[in-house]
Amino acid sequence: MRMYVILVVLVLLVAGLLFLLDRALKAVERGRRRRAAGARLAAAAAYAEAEDEQRRAVANASAALTNVLPAIHEPERGPRRVA
């Protein structure tokens, strides 16, 4: 009888250890995925910042050019007359 109790306790202990091992492996995998996603997010953010900086530089260059060479404005026209 004592052997059956030891066997049941041993089976429960092995099942508990396997459960804990499964949870630990899942936590490690989740951490790995989060680190990879963080790296991809950081790369995307850096790319977006560089693109925004380039866009601002182009806008500033365009504004500077407009200050040097103002746009040619046509004289205002009155209403059209249909004959």
68: pLDDT strictly greater than 80: no
73: pLDDT strictly greater than 80: no
The residue-averaged pLDDT of 51-80 equals 77
Q: Tell me: the pLDDT tens digits for 8-57?
A: 999 999 999 999 999 999 999 999 999 999 999 999 999 999 999 999 99
Distances (CA, A) of 20 to 23, 26, 27, 32: 5, 10, 10, 18
DSSP class of residue 70 equals P
pLDDT at 72: 60
Domain limits of the chain? 1-61
